[in-house]
Structure 1
Amino acid sequence: MVDRGASALSLPDDWPAHPDPILALNHMGSFDWDLDSGLFHMDAQAYEVFDLRPDEYDGHPSSLAHRVPGAEGHRLDALVARAMKDGSENYGTYFRLRCRDGSLRWTHTQGYIRRDATGRPRRIVGIVRDATQELNDILSRQEQAAQDEARRRQTNVVQLTTAALAHARTVQDVIDVLKDTHGLTHLGAASLVMGLVEAGRIRLIAEGPEGSFVPGTDVTRIDEPYPMSEVVRTLTPRFIESPGEFAERYPILWPHLTGLDITAAAYLPLIVEARPIGAMGLLYNDRSGFSPEDRNVLIALGSSIAQSLQRAMFYEQEKDLATGLQQAMLPRAIPRVPGADVAVRYRSGSLGRDIGGDWYDVIPLPGGRVGAVIGDVQGHDTHAAAVMGQLRIVLKAYATEGHTPATVMARASVFLHELDTDRFATCLYAEADLSTGVVQVVRAGHIDPLIRRPDGTCRRVSVEGGLPLGLSAEFGRLEYPVATVELDPGHTLVLCTDGLVEQPGADLDDGMRALTALIATGPEDIRDLADRLIDVAEERGGDDDVALLLLRRLGPGAPRAGGRLQQHVALGDAEALTEARHMIRTAVRAWGARDRADEIELAADELITNALIHTEGSSVVTLRVLSGGDRRLRVDVEDSSSALPRRREAGESGVSGRGLLLVDLLADQWGVEARGGGKCVWCEFVVPEPN
């Protein structure tokens, strides 16, 4: 029976192995340097490392000098001397050897310093080995790492540039991104040129740096011998890797570029959906060629730029179309208004074709009056603009027909509701009598107006409003309260849409306060003030449109016309009755009839009261100044009843029947006129011309 345990434990006779075979297996040679005698012993493998035969070496280190270049020998001697001096136990380094055939190869040595009891170095034992392959591997890895880093940087530039281009809306935005210090300049380009294809030609849209423009290249034909023309023609990029190649390929262009020290260039077609929309050129003064990786990065960059340019071109086309549509819907010109100075402004939102329904209008009315309109149709699209255009026209028509401000607003709401649309609109209509300064304001869900005084102070005018146009008709709430505001000479009425007020995350009241402060500190000139307000909106940006209307009442020296004011008074509406009385009182004094103010106010009040009591319906009060012969102030009270009033004596204990008697006593003339389905009771007072 075999003793398995004894067999397993038996060892070879040459165990443990001598180190020399182990070193030889790893292509290492050993040496033993006796520092006392100066002898430097090497084994057979060390001879191979030094490319020596035994008969070529006498055992002294100096015999190796012809194998170690001088600079390398000095470095080795200094390294060993420093290790012996500073008490080191070992050292190691790479150095170059000159082989028998004269070639150089890298070698590595490592030595162990043996010292005596006093610390004096006595011997150095160590190894030498051929390190050529090792260093080649290291250098290859370093070179690969450097190439990887270069590709990473280039990829990062492409990614950063692509990310920046994502925010570019216009063609100029794209150009600015490419010229930015964080753009293509990271690729080392010294100059950039870019052109767009237009009607068989290439129009230059960017060139830099300053002074690099080549005369005659602002517009070139696609069939001309220029690099951008060639890449557009062939849809293939061109990489020029030397000045000589540039001069040979493009002899017409090259003489103009010699001052830029161009050494290489890359011209890329800008292609979208297999169609060239332009070309781009990158010119370098520190490059001598393009690796495959470089070319792939630049081609990818060109594709990204082409997509951004296409988006920018579409954006600009849509913006132009939208702006044109919006401008076509707004009044082409603002009429001249005697007695007032008017300024209007409009700023479109920042979204391409997503225009808004903001509008303004100025409506000359008979009797020296003027209507001022500001409004905003819901939504930001061409449909909103189309609805706005229709609404603006009908609102102007209703105002021109002579309807009261409340009726104008109610009828406009019904019109919008009957349109085949789901849109509503906010609106503010102000009807101003420029001879008296009395302004009647109606608000349909819109923001309040503001008034700026000649001293610069500005205040918000709180106006009770109704529902937005369209909604008030849908819910059967067509009542629009009328507020009366006095606009003295030099005062400015400011109407605007919410795009000038609202800011993301901010309260509307805060926005109104900010706007009030801005108007108060703005320029005195009405047009400069309008420009300043729009400039602020432009600086702030935002996607909403802004419409702005400023109306300033001129001073006494301005042309004056006959006055005309109207007020709608509904049955049971005490506030409307109060507003009508206030309107009459203000107008009478402004029209120079202060001496007869009490008489006129009392007579008008009696006519209004009679209409409300005896007709059980609403009435419309109109004040006018009549010229020709004696100057007269006329009060009309219209109602929907065809029953004519009768003047009768009141009994001793009666409280009614005295109204028309008072009117007869107070007025110079009075009468009744049939008006279709209703009537008009009127009275007139002779008033002197104002001084």
Structure 2
Amino acid sequence: MTQSNHPMPRGASSDPLGDELRAELSRAMELNGIGGFVWDLPSARVMLDPSALAIFDLRPDEFDGRISTLYERIMPEELTGIRARAADILANPRDSTGCGNYFRVRQSDGTIRWAHSQAALLRDEAGNAVRAVGVVRAELQYAEKQSILESDRRRQAGVVEATTSALSQALSVEDVLAALTSNQILGPVGAVGISLTVLEQNRLHRLASAGMPFEYVRDMEYGRLDDDRPIAEVFQTSSPLFITRENIRLNYSMLWPYIKGTGFTVSAVLPLMAQARLTGVLAILYEEKRSFSPEERNLLIALSATVAQSLQRARLYDEEHAMAVGLQQAMLPAKIEPVPGMCVAARYRPARAGHQIGGDWYDVMPLPEGRVGLVVGDVQGHDIQAAAVMGQLRTALRAYASEGHPPAALMSRASTFLRELNTDRLATCVYVSLGPATGQAEIVRAGHPSPHIRTVDGSAALTVEGGPPLGLPLGLTTGLPDPGDVPYPVHYLHLGPGETLLLCTDGLLEFHDTDMAAGERQIEILLDSGPGDLDQLAEHIVAAIEDRQGQEDDVALLLASRGGPRSAAASDVHRYSARR
């Protein structure tokens, strides 16, 4: 903006000192990178002094005096906001203060710099804005601050992403605790220690901790609501505490002896609120950090809400899972009675994914003439109805077996029974009638995986021709009018002394990243490498699936071997494996 020369009043003497000071003022603005501008609003013309032109990287001979030319140098992201704020101010006839704007300018070489403008409005007697007069300056430090803020925003986004990712995989309370105390959360948060405490029967109970002083972990697992500790205070007030080392020394004498010998500097003690209920308190410890910025406090409070929701969801899951597991267990045999001349071991493992119960079952049934019936089956579905149908079908099978029906007839009757329940549920099943004294076995299967056998020569799957699943409508099977005529071929086998027969549901053979053929091979390897003791062999097999991620189906396993009576009680070989 060129300086205007106002005529001196007639008779007034010149003011050399004033002229010198005005020149110095103009030079001071130029030296400090501050430029001036005047924007004539009716004509949309704008005048810039040399310093202002330099900020926009314009030479005097290339600036045409149009505001649109300046707008071309301003980054579009900021220009939208500048225009909106200007429109609001111009529309208010009482506003003469103008406004300030931070914005980015693209230089002729493509580089970007931050600038700031501040302007005041001049209005005519009618209140119409006629000019905007102001200054503009380069903002090198503002660019640095923005870079730091952007880095902080990225770090905070990383913390949120890491915490959310870790907790999204947690189903049970145990999973939540493992996630909270892992480096997956501690690392991004930048903390050295963390603990989670809940209230049980008006008593503080620390559920998990990591990086906490050993003596504190040992002595402070339980506590009282009136303890002289920040955790107890947060339980009473439901408000977060951000405390320093000095705060603890002065105000929490009970905690100070555990802290004074450590490098602890500050801590965030956060209430875990879910649906307006306090479910626990999360304490996060830091070293070297001196204080919490407002942004950090808001971030930690937001993270505590995420933890609270995860903890509440996990507790609900654990309760429902325990109820479902208990119902499923009640549907299975309470114990396996000893079978003379045989060893038998059984396991049941509920699915990891979800809390629904399934229709998998096993049974060992005494038969006429000293024989024994071995059965493993699976009712379609994972819900209470599947478990109820399983209980009815298992009872029907035991009744038919006790009447002495041969295996093929037993399977046909069971299919008819399930069909007449009108549940629209199907079931698969494998049944073995075995004579412990002779080893003679008859096997039938209804849409179920074939048994496996371990002999002195190794392990293999038996090739057992099968019939249709139980309960399948007759029109979809053979078209025969008499339900009893549905064919279930019988496979005859001699089980030698010391040989082991394995029956299982498909949950043991097939899961999300493995097909049935690979599962069959794995079972053969497990049988070959497993111990001779049947109970230990059952543990060996189910341990192989314990670490599967996303196991979506239940597992029922039944092992039978000809041999002398075991020394262990019958209840020792029957276990309901419900570990998650």
Q: TM-score, normalized by length of structure 1? A: 0.59
User: Structure 1 residue 216: deviation in Å?
Assistant: 4.4
User: Structure 1 residue 168: deviation in Å?
Assistant: 1.3
Structure 2: stretches of 5+ with no match in the other structure: 1-20, 32-134, 477-482, 567-580
Could you say what secondary structure the match of 2:547 adopts? Answer: helix
Name the counterpart of 1:489: 497
Q: Please tell me the residue identity of whatever aligns with 2:348.
A: Y
1:163 aligned onto 2:172: no
Name the counterpart of 2:194: 192
Could you say what secondary structure the match of 1:236 adopts? Answer: coil
Name the counterpart of 2:221: 218
Judge which range, 357-366 or 208-217, deviates more: 208-217
Name the counterpart of 2:26: 25
Name the counterpart of 2:387: 385
> How far apart, in 2, do the equivalents of 1:506 and 1:286 lie?
48
**1:176-255 matched pairs, under 5 angstroms:** 176-209=178-211, 211-214=213-216, 216-240=219-243, 242-255=244-257
Q: 2:431·2:445 contact (CA, 8 Å) conserved in 1?
A: yes
Could you say what secondary structure the match of 2:546 adopts? Answer: helix
Q: 2:193·2:212 contact (CA, 8 Å) conserved in 1?
A: no
C-alpha distance after superposition, 1:251-285 (max 9, x if no partner): 22222211123222211000000000000111222
Name the counterpart of 2:92: none
Q: Please tell me the residue identity of whatever aligns with 1:316.
A: D
User: Structure 1 residue 533: deviation in Å?
Assistant: 1.5
Q: 1:197·1:276 contact (CA, 8 Å) conserved in 2?
A: no
Could you say what secondary structure the match of 2:320 adopts? Answer: helix
Q: 1:497·1:548 contact (CA, 8 Å) conserved in 2?
A: yes
Tell me how many residue pairs correspond in the alignment: 434
> How far apart, in 1, do the equivalents of 2:332 and 2:527 lie?
24
Within the candidate set 526, 534, 540, 2:542 is matched to: 534
Shift in CA distance, 384/366, structure 1 to aligned 2, threshold 3 Å: same
**1:539-688 matched pairs, under 5 angstroms:** 539-541=547-549, 542-554=551-563
Within the candidate set 509, 515, 530, 1:501 is matched to: 509
C-alpha distance after superposition, 1:431-476 (max 9, x if no partner): 01122211111211111112211x2412322222221111166754
Q: 2:162·2:188 contact (CA, 8 Å) conserved in 1?
A: no
Within the candidate set 448, 451, 465, 1:449 is matched to: 451
Shift in CA distance, 134/173, structure 1 to aligned 2, threshold 3 Å: farther
Could you say what secondary structure the match of 2:324 adopts? Answer: helix
User: Structure 1 residue 553: deviation in Å?
Assistant: 1.4
Shift in CA distance, 191/515, structure 1 to aligned 2, threshold 3 Å: closer
User: Structure 1 residue 359: deviation in Å?
Assistant: 0.8
Shift in CA distance, 506/269, structure 1 to aligned 2, threshold 3 Å: closer
Could you say what secondary structure the match of 2:264 adopts? Answer: coil
Shift in CA distance, 177/27, structure 1 to aligned 2, threshold 3 Å: same
Shift in CA distance, 144/506, structure 1 to aligned 2, threshold 3 Å: closer
Q: 1:362·1:372 contact (CA, 8 Å) conserved in 2?
A: yes
Shift in CA distance, 507/245, structure 1 to aligned 2, threshold 3 Å: closer
User: Structure 1 residue 140: deviation in Å?
Assistant: 4.5
Shift in CA distance, 335/302, structure 1 to aligned 2, threshold 3 Å: same
User: Structure 1 residue 22: deviation in Å?
Assistant: 8.8
> How far apart, in 1, do the equivalents of 2:489 and 2:24 lie?
108
Q: 2:414·2:470 contact (CA, 8 Å) conserved in 1?
A: yes
Shift in CA distance, 183/422, structure 1 to aligned 2, threshold 3 Å: same
> How far apart, in 1, do the equivalents of 2:215 and 2:270 lie?
18
> How far apart, in 2, do the equivalents of 1:408 and 1:414 lie?
10
Shift in CA distance, 352/213, structure 1 to aligned 2, threshold 3 Å: farther
User: Structure 1 residue 360: deviation in Å?
Assistant: 0.7
User: Structure 1 residue 153: deviation in Å?
Assistant: 0.9
User: Structure 1 residue 420: deviation in Å?
Assistant: 4.2
1:318 aligned onto 2:320: yes
Q: 2:166·2:184 contact (CA, 8 Å) conserved in 1?
A: no
Name the counterpart of 1:59: none
Could you say what secondary structure the match of 2:360 adopts? Answer: strand
Shift in CA distance, 186/511, structure 1 to aligned 2, threshold 3 Å: closer
Q: 1:151·1:293 contact (CA, 8 Å) conserved in 2?
A: no
Q: Please tell me the residue identity of whatever aligns with 1:450.
A: H
**1:238-387 matched pairs, under 5 angstroms:** 238-240=241-243, 242-387=244-389
C-alpha distance after superposition, 1:286-319 (max 9, x if no partner): 2222221111011001011111111221222222
Q: 2:194·2:212 contact (CA, 8 Å) conserved in 1?
A: no
C-alpha distance after superposition, 1:166-217 (max 9, x if no partner): 1112223222322322313333322212112223332101223253452543
Q: Please tell me the residue identity of whatever aligns with 1:552.
A: S
Could you say what secondary structure the match of 2:239 adopts? Answer: coil
1:461 aligned onto 2:462: yes
Judge which range, 245-254 or 164-173, deviates more: 245-254
Shift in CA distance, 344/474, structure 1 to aligned 2, threshold 3 Å: farther
Shift in CA distance, 188/517, structure 1 to aligned 2, threshold 3 Å: closer
Name the counterpart of 1:520: 528
> How far apart, in 1, do the equivalents of 2:433 and 2:460 lie?
19
Could you say what secondary structure the match of 2:369 adopts? Answer: coil
User: Structure 1 residue 161: deviation in Å?
Assistant: 1.0
Larger radius of gyration between Structure 1 and Structure 2: 1
> How far apart, in 2, do the equivalents of 1:158 and 1:439 lie?
60
> How far apart, in 2, do the equivalents of 1:186 and 1:516 lie?
44
> How far apart, in 2, do the equivalents of 1:28 and 1:516 lie?
87
Shift in CA distance, 458/260, structure 1 to aligned 2, threshold 3 Å: same
User: Structure 1 residue 428: deviation in Å?
Assistant: 0.9
> How far apart, in 2, do the equivalents of 1:300 and 1:271 lie?
11
Name the counterpart of 2:414: 412
User: Structure 1 residue 248: deviation in Å?
Assistant: 2.9
User: Structure 1 residue 515: deviation in Å?
Assistant: 2.4
Q: TM-score, normalized by length of structure 2? A: 0.69
Shift in CA distance, 182/480, structure 1 to aligned 2, threshold 3 Å: closer
User: Structure 1 residue 164: deviation in Å?
Assistant: 1.7
> How far apart, in 2, do the equivalents of 1:483 and 1:438 lie?
11
Identity across aligned pairs (percent)?
A: 45
Computed over aligned residues only, the root mean square deviation of the Cα atoms, in angstroms, reads: 2.8
Q: 1:179·1:185 contact (CA, 8 Å) conserved in 2?
A: no
> How far apart, in 2, do the equivalents of 1:244 and 1:289 lie?
12
Shift in CA distance, 195/336, structure 1 to aligned 2, threshold 3 Å: same
User: Structure 1 residue 328: deviation in Å?
Assistant: 1.2
Structure 1: stretches of 5+ with no match in the other structure: 1-19, 31-132, 559-691
Q: 2:235·2:271 contact (CA, 8 Å) conserved in 1?
A: yes
Could you say what secondary structure the match of 1:185 adopts? Answer: helix
Shift in CA distance, 151/249, structure 1 to aligned 2, threshold 3 Å: farther
Name the counterpart of 2:435: 433
Q: 1:373·1:428 contact (CA, 8 Å) conserved in 2?
A: yes
> How far apart, in 2, do the equivalents of 1:299 and 1:447 lie?
52
Q: Please tell me the residue identity of whatever aligns with 1:407.
A: A
Q: 1:456·1:521 contact (CA, 8 Å) conserved in 2?
A: no
Q: 2:442·2:490 contact (CA, 8 Å) conserved in 1?
A: yes
Q: Please tell me the residue identity of whatever aligns with 1:208.
A: A
> How far apart, in 2, do the equivalents of 1:391 and 1:265 lie?
59
Q: 1:264·1:285 contact (CA, 8 Å) conserved in 2?
A: yes
Q: 2:511·2:552 contact (CA, 8 Å) conserved in 1?
A: no
> How far apart, in 2, do the equivalents of 1:474 and 1:434 lie?
39
Judge which range, 257-266 or 183-192, deviates more: 183-192
Q: Please tell me the residue identity of whatever aligns with 1:499.
A: G
C-alpha distance after superposition, 1:481-507 (max 9, x if no partner): 222211122221111111111244654
